[in-house]
Structure 1
Amino acid sequence: MKNKNELVVGFIGLGNMGLPMAENIIRAGYPLIVWNRTIQRTKTLVNMGAQVATSPSELTRRSSIIFTMLPGPHEVREVVLGKNDGLSPVIDSIQANKILVDMTTNLPDISRIIEKEIHRKGGEMLDAPVSGSVKPATDGTLTILVGGKKDVLDKIKPLLLTMGKNILHIGPIGSACAMKLVLNMHLATVMASFAESLAFGFKSGLEPTKTLEVINNSIMKTYISEMKGLKVINHDWSTAFSLNLMSKDLELVEETANMVRAPIPITNIIKQIYDSCISNGKGEMDFSIVATKFEKMNDNIHL
């Protein structure tokens, strides 16, 4: 990889995760050019020295490595491959020696489709979704899952290390997206199971704080029980990862499961529980608010 002062990095998508990730790139000394549909989101980065492109295509033309961190597959296809809405997409400016790194939680098949188009123009692509929420994104301690050619990963690894502490090569293109869906599928299941267990314990005469203490001092301790346990008991639903985003990711799990013909009966049931919380207007709350569904099912208890 070129010297960081000679390398222009592009970053598309400055949402709750993308903005702090881009900030860490510029803090590490890399020249940065950004694009976001909502121009106001670029202000912080401009104050840090970033430039703003007028379109994804312009950003790609002026950058060597292009990161995308977007809401989902539809947005990735739109920004990278384009559609008839007047937006000049990334693909218009892809050529040899340019690398696209899609960090979106995406469908594996969409990553493979996009990679073929990138290759046709002479470029390279990696899928590199992240594991972690806003705080690790801010701290630069995300886990980054990478699918694609190992030699391409090696070229950009110093850049990835500005955003994450664990860079894991999963396999060919699309494999990192599949792994991210596995992680979020597991996360959703563990959260719902933990909430159900607390509610069952309460109805059985156990104090929730005591139940949590025992769980966290046993082999049943999990990230959920450690990081979300007290928040659930205190009804602290401040958002690290919203219910809407969890439901969106579970939709990607369902779509992928249908494609590969993998039955997911537990996940299907759990998604219905999450979606019922969304229908009650809780979509922007943290996904741990699913615990209130189990409270309601148990005679409106308060854990």
Structure 2
Amino acid sequence: MRISGVRAGALCVAMVAAISVADAAPTTAAPTTTTNCTGWHSDTVAAGLGQLENLEPDGRGGFYVSGYRKIYHVDGSGSVRTVLDDVAAPGGLQLDGTTLYLLTRSDGELWRYDTVTEQLSHMVDFPGNGLLRLPDGDFLTTWIGTEDGPSRGVSRYDHTTGEVVANWSPTPRAEGLSLSPDHRAVYTDDLFTGQIYRIPLDAPDRWTVVTRIPGLLPGPDDVTASAEGDLYVAGHVSGTVHRVHLESGASCVIAADLAKGWAGPTSVRIGPDGDRSALYVTSFDGTLRRLRPPSDVRLTPIDAV
């Protein structure tokens, strides 16, 4: 979610948009809820980090986190160090081995950071917010359209040719991005309407609506899928985290006591928690939180299978 006064104003009018916007997407049934979503426990990993935008597991029990003009590293014990400073509104993060990829939203660029040599290098102009590195090495980004022109849907960067295909998938107001468990599609969310979209990688213009997150204005900001077939959604405005069963579209709230409104959740990722996994959540209140699932809920990141 981009940090700007324009974006704040857009959130204020989003309630009207959620009711009145008629998208060209296929219609979907009214959102349904599912059961067995209680028993998740929340605790704080790190706090006081300003407006946190995105996070990425480091593969060693810690995380890289994008904040206001900074990239932090938070280790497994919660210790924080600044990795990069004075960064132009960093957004989405993706890690491949020892290479951290990051978007800078103020200037619309994709960067490569070597976590060993600490060298930062520019890759390509790539305006966007969410970031996903596909298994073939290409990148996707989203442009919601609340500022600097209309929505560009989901854009794609071809790493072999260097070409950027703007509006590769014309989904309206796309925000977060997650690969599907079968690697055949990606999922994104609509900040205004609360809809969850599925985009086939081989037919990106044939996106469909999976479901809609309940509530007048949940304001979904980011998504991450599990290998078990669930999608976890950060409700920025509502201060909630939802679990969506991708096959049925049924959803439920697994956390409802987070900061709401402008300070709400911005990103969700599955990461290690001892010998299990947990769901980690960043928020604009500067907090990295851990949501531990009940014992009967499996939580496996897609890249772990």
TM-score, length basis structure 2: 0.27
Higher strand share: 2
- Could you state the TM-score of these two structures normalised by the residue count of structure 1? 0.27
